[in-house]
Every structure is written in C-alpha cells, then in structure tokens.
Structure 1
Amino acid sequence: MSYALQTLWHERSRYAAGVGAVAFSAVLIALQIGLLLGLFEITSIPVDHTTADIWVGSNGAPSVDIGRPIPTSLIARLDKPGVGMPEFLYLAFAEWKKSDGTSVNCVVEGSPVNPDSAACVTEITPEIRAALAEPMTVVVDRSDMSSDRLGLAGIGSRGKINGKEVRVVGIVSGLKSLAAPWIFCCQTTARELLGVNNPKYVDHSTYLLARCTTKERAAEVVSELRSEYPEMSAYTSEEFSTKTRVYWLLRTKAGLALGYAALLGLLVGSLITAQTLYSATMGSAKEFATLLALGIPRRKIYRMVLAQSFWVGVIGVSLAYPAVWTLSKLAEQAGTRVVLRWEILLGTAAVTLITAMIAGLFALRSVRQIEPMSLLR
C-alpha cells in the first residue's frame, strides 16, 4: 500500500485525471441521489408534517394524494388501548381558479385546527389555526403564490376552489409541492369545497389519523387492523411516507427520469474512471516491464495496480465530499432541497470505491499484455 501511494505521488500528474474522474463520479452520484430524495420528500409532506402515528385509508391507496373516501363510521375500529382519539382528514384534488380566470389543479387538505390536532400540519401556527376556524379560509405555501401557480398577492387574496370563493388567511414555508399546490383548511371548509364533486364526503373522509402512546404500540395496532380489516389500508406514518415516495419514484415519469439520470451519472463516471486508469497503467508499461525483467512476480504488480486504484478512489471521494456539500448549499439557496444523509454519503463512497477497483481490474488487462523484451529494446 505504501509503495502504491508513493507511486501515485511521484506520478501524480499521470493519475490526476483518474482522481478527478473518481471525484466527478462521486459528486454526480451523491447530488443526483440527494436531489432525487429531496424532491420526493415533498410528495409525503401531509404525512411527514403531522404528529399522527397511524394512517387508515382506502384499500390499496398507493400514495397519500390518491386516497379514496372511506366511511367515517370506521372510526370505531380504532377504539383500541393506547390509541388516542382519531381525527378525520379530507384530502383530494380540486380546481383552483385564479383572479384572471385561468385554472390550475390543487390538492385540498382539510383537518381539525385545534391546537393539539394530530392531523394538522405542524407549520400552521396556533394563530393561523384560529383564523382557519372561519369557514372558506385557506392557507398556502409561500412558494405556490406565484403567477404560474396560484396567482396570489398575499394574505387577504381570494381565489375559487371548485367554483367556491376562498380567502387566504395564512402563508407558511416548507410545504412546497412537487405537482399541484397544497391548500390547507379546516374540515368544514374541506367538506364544503370537495362536496361539489364528491357528494360522499357528507359521511366520508379520506383518512383516519390517530396518535399512539408509543411507536411500538402504533406498529402493533397497524398489524391488528390489517389482520382484522383487510378491506382497508392501515399504516404507521413512517410506512405511509415511504410508500408514497416509492410510488412517485417508481410509478411516475418524473421519478423514472430522475432515477435514470442518477444511473447514467454512475455509468459515465465509471467509464471515465476505467479509461483514465487504463491509460495511466499503459503509461507505466515500461516501468512494469523493468520490474518484470528484474524478476518481480507479475501477481505483485497486479496487487500494486489494484492498490493504486483503491487509493485513487479514496483520494477522489475525499475531494468530492467538500464539493458535494458546497453544491448542495448552493442548490438550497436556489430553493431546491438536496438530502445528504450519512447513508447516502457512505453509499456513494462504497459505490465509487467499488467502481475504482473494477476500473483497476480492467486496467490489469494492459499489465497482462506487457512483454518485457519488446518494451525494453
């Protein structure tokens, strides 16, 4: 290992391109995956930004925004030890008409607005919750107020949802939508707005939510509900959040496109790394020929080439992480979230090092072709 590092240092100009290729590959992989996860965290906002532990909905609901109405009478099924008072959540697509007469899709979410509500998103402050108690009032995220989204000027602005006029009484941040803007309101307003296209909402809701005494008890209750009532869906909040993100990732064109881009970044980085290390190894052909002529076993040269590939990967990853952190901060300044959890960084390092080692194996082909007599003439 030490000899391989010494060789890399003395031949640093030759291996600089390999280190750069590895660093580029690591940056590309980490940012693509971080961007992918950051985008799809948005899809599960109604789940992640509440304090509920259990979600009950229609059978087979693939994502939080695609639930079908369920009877409110199902509330009795949550009467179990360790489960708090269930709450109704109304969530469905609707039509938002701007003041200029144009329309866009939106997602209406109606929940209890009392201070200790488990279904109301945590970003809505007690003051705004009090304002939402007034019928036909709504809250929107700051990022959705632009003219190409909801076309709102600020608090007090008005629009129409399914033909009924509503007034904005609060603006929040951190609830940016990926597709249709979220519109938050109280249950009374939601029933009024959604009842136009969904008469069943008179005695139905989209979800039943409840808190539990512990996360472990929540998992137990969900297991019991699935066994007792297979005609409905029951999830812990973590399970439903993951299910929603996986659906958007694997079942939508946006998710497939971003996943393909991340895979393409990995392939491009791998090819560049392999070609660079192959060229660097070929550039050392005479040195390797000399070693072979001196009686050094070919297997030791193989080990040295693989060791060089390993250290090229380590150095490249070490250079990539500061660049990843800087670029992620710049992306967040532009309003794009990049998730860089330790699992992503560790996985990026592992994939990059494996790629570098595979590239080293590819470079060994050039070592096998070395004939000392022909190169030392």
Structure 2
Amino acid sequence: MSYSLTTIWFERNRFLPAILAVAFSAVLIAVQGGLVIGLLAMMSLPIDKSRADVWVGYPGVRSVDLGRPLPDRWVTRVVEQPEVERAELAMIGFSLWTRVSSTQSPATPEVCTVVGSTLGPDSLAAVEGLRQQPDLMARLSEPFTVAVDESELGRLNITGVGQDADILGKRVTVVGLVHGYKSLGGPYVFCSNENARVLLKYFPGEATYIVAKCGTPEDAKRMTLRMKGYSQLTAFTADDFSWRSRMHWLFTTKAGVTVGFTALLGLLVGAVVTSQTLYAATAASLREYSTLRAMGIPRWRLQLSVLEQSFWVGLFGVMVAAPVTFVIAQAANYMGTQVMLHPLVIGIAILITMVMAIGSGLAALRSFQNVDPAHNLR
C-alpha cells in the first residue's frame, strides 16, 4: 500500500470532508446531466418512437413540434427518390386543450401537442405506444377520438378513458392511454391524420411532415442530401432531426445554461472544500514532511504524494457518488421526472470530478512553501 493511501486511511477523519465534497460534486454533475438529457429526449419522442428514417418539413424547421403546413402533394417528390421505399404524412403542432365539465366553473386551458399519423401496424409516423395497441388504433380511426399519456392526466384535468375535452372548439373523447410519452412542453395528444388536420386547423391538402422509409441509414443520408435541391422544403434523417429538436429546446429554454451553472456551482464548492482539506492535511503534517526532507527525500517526491492523495480522494468520492446517483435517478424517475444516466454523462462526470480533485491537490501544494528541515529545530 502506497504512503499516500496509508496516510488517508490512518487520517480518514481528516480526509473524509474532501471525499464527501468530491462525491457531492460528482452526484450533482451526473444527475444534472442525466436530467437534461431526459428532459430533452421528451421533445423528440415523436421522432425517436416512430419508424420513419427521413422527415421532410418546411424550410428551416428547428424542432419537430414547430413545423409549418406544407402541401401534402409534395409527397410525390419524396416517393420519386430512388432510396425511398414508401412515404406517408404526419401532423404535429401545438393546440389548446380545455376540459369539458358539467359544472359552471370555467375550465383552465392547457397547451397540448397534437400528433397525428396514419393508423396501422406498418405506420411510419405512429409512435411505438400506438403500434403495440391495435385495438387502440382502431378506436382512434373514429372521428374526434384521441389518446394521451397516462402520466399527463393531471395536467389535462381528466381522470381516464371516456372523458371529453375541447381542442380549439372541437369536442374530442379520450379512448385510450399510452405509457412513456410525458412531454416537457404541452402534453402529447395522439390521433389520426384526419382528426389532427381538424384539430390543428389545417386546410385540406396540408400536412406538417412527410416521413419516409429507406432501405438503409446510408440511403437515408444520400436521400436527404439530394433533397437539398428543393428550396421549398428541408429533409433530415431521423437522428439528425431528433438532435436538432433537442438542441433547439436546450438553447431556447436556457435549460443548458441553468443546469451548467448549477453543476458549476457544485463543482466550485467541491473544489474549494477538497483543496482546503488537502491544504490543511498537508499543513498539519509539516513536521513529518520536514523530517522526510531532512532524510533526503526530494521535494518533488513529497509533492507527488499530495497529488496521489488527491487522486485517491477523487476516486473514493466517485465510488461514494455512484450508488447515491443511481438512487436519486430512480427516485426522480419514480416521481415522473426522467433522468437518463447515459454512459457518456457518467464518463464526463467522472472525468470532471477527477480533474477537479487533482486540481485541488495542485492548489494544496502551496503549503509546501513551509516545508524545511529546519522546521523541526524550532
């Protein structure tokens, strides 16, 4: 066992605050990063949970929920591309949901996101939650019927299937529920293309998107590049459009700035506590270091031992943070907030935490200014 690790063990009460500070920073960075990814993933669910390889929309569309109507006859431009196997229409847009109540009290409107698609087992735009329920898709083919996510019932002011609501003057009936489609913005309201056209006030012959199925991902990329020749529309692969939608919400809502500032604050707190703890531990051992210096141990070896201590403090902090992060993420998911502990997020959190710990060790080296063999003679 190394001298640095032995010192931490026998002086564990002295180093414990630094380990806990590092653990706090690691937990905060990992949970905040997972929270951002989880929340932003909600905004691209219509893309991620569909089977479409290509999404074609109006020029400059920045997010899947911000599309503008385009002529549905343009589907021929998509179908004629050699990589496209088939194509269909999709309707997505914001609307206004109002609970229909028998009481005289005024209902509070709620912004919702209407998602219309072709209904069928081979549908490209229908989300997975609908494709797995053929009976529900059959019910959604009826006029003015919709499905919503079970976790959004409270926001929509309803209690379950069979209740009515008003969407821009049209009464709709909830005929089914899906799971795992909670939204960061307006709750998702799933329906057929025909119903969506009415609920979004589209004119006949209009659609929000044209979605297509290609043979391979490479075919989808080639097709989208070729479609750049059309100035009236924009084509994206599903992955590119999903990323574009998430980045739009990340920077438009300032979520990235808020989360980054919070994580930076935790990082600074951890760095200060860790640095001061290592400084105090080194200062308290000046007599021992002075003795080692008098025995001929080079100063750089002593400084290296402090850096080794900072490494072990960082590693122990990460080990403490791992189970705590997992428990917090599970608790947040249980309460309805989605925290996605992606391996990239965990890796970045570990890297930043270790750099912070070692940086704190470097800052603690200032205590070596007083390390001198003559110190023991005083």
Indicate which of 114, 122, 126 corresponds to 1:116. Answer: 122
More deviation, 37-46/70-79: 70-79
Task: Please give the alpha-carbon distance, in whole angstroms, between the structure 1 residues aligned to 2:358 and 2:76.
Answer: 59
Written as runs of structure 1 = structure 2, the 5 A alignment for 1:255-294 is 255-294=256-295
Number of the residue aligned with 2:226: 224
Task: Report if aligned partners of 1:289, 1:376 keep a CA contact under 8 Å in 2.
Answer: no
Alpha-carbon contact 1:36-1:259 (below 8 Å) kept: no
| Letter of the 2:121 counterpart | P
1:232-275 CA-to-partner distances (Å, cap 9, x unmatched) read 22111111111111111112134432332223222222222222
Once the two structures are superposed, residues 283-331 of structure 1 have per-residue CA deviations (whole angstroms, 9 ceiling, x without a partner) of: 2222112212222211111111111111111111122111111221222
d(CA) in 2 for partners of 1:293 and 1:354?
A: 32
Residue 144 of structure 2 aligns with an amino acid whose one-letter code is M
**Residues 1-377 of structure 1 mapped to structure 2, 5 A cutoff:** 2-78=2-78, 79-100=80-101, 101-124=107-130, 125-146=133-154, 149-195=155-201, 198=202, 201-226=203-228, 228-374=229-375, 376-377=377-378
Equivalent-residue separation in structure 2 for 1:255 and 1:185 (angstroms): 32
Q: Which runs of 5+ in 1 are unaligned?
A: none
**Residue 84 of structure 1: SS of its match in structure 2?**
strand
Do 1:145 and 1:151's aligned partners in 2 also have CA atoms closer than 8 Å? yes
CA distance in 2, matches of 1:355, 1:250: 26
Unaligned runs of 5+ in 2: 102-106
After superposition, the Cα gap between the structure-2 partners of 1:231 and 1:271, relative to the gap in structure 1 and judged at 3 Å, is farther
Q: Write the distance in 1 (CA, Å) between the matches of 2:60 and 2:272.
A: 42
Whole-angstrom distance in 2 between the partners of 1:17 and 1:139: 51
Distance in 2, Cα, partners of 1:285 & 1:165: 79
Task: Give the distance between the partners of 2:214 and 2:189, measured in 1 at CA.
Answer: 27
Q: Secondary structure at the match of 2:296?
A: coil
| SS of residue paired to 1:308 | helix
CA RMSD of aligned residues (A): 1.6
Conserved 8 A contact 1:286-1:376: no
Q: 1:214 to 1:310 in 2, by over 3 A?
A: same
Which range moves more in the overlay, 165-174 or 66-75? 66-75
Q: Is residue 248–residue 255 contact of structure 1 (8 Å, CA) maintained in 2? A: no
Higher alpha-carbon deviation: 348-357 or 291-300 = 291-300
Aligned residues between the structures: 370
Aligned to 1:330, the other structure's residue is in SS state helix
- 2:181 alignment partner, SS class: coil
Query: Structure 1 vs Structure 2: percent identity of aligned residues?
Result: 44
Distance 1:349 1:144 in 2: 35
Q: CA deviation at 1:60?
A: 1.3
Q: Deviations over 1:72-108 (max 9, x none)?
A: 1221221222312211111111111112432111111
TM-score, normalised via structure 1 length: 0.94
Q: CA deviation at 1:230?
A: 4.1
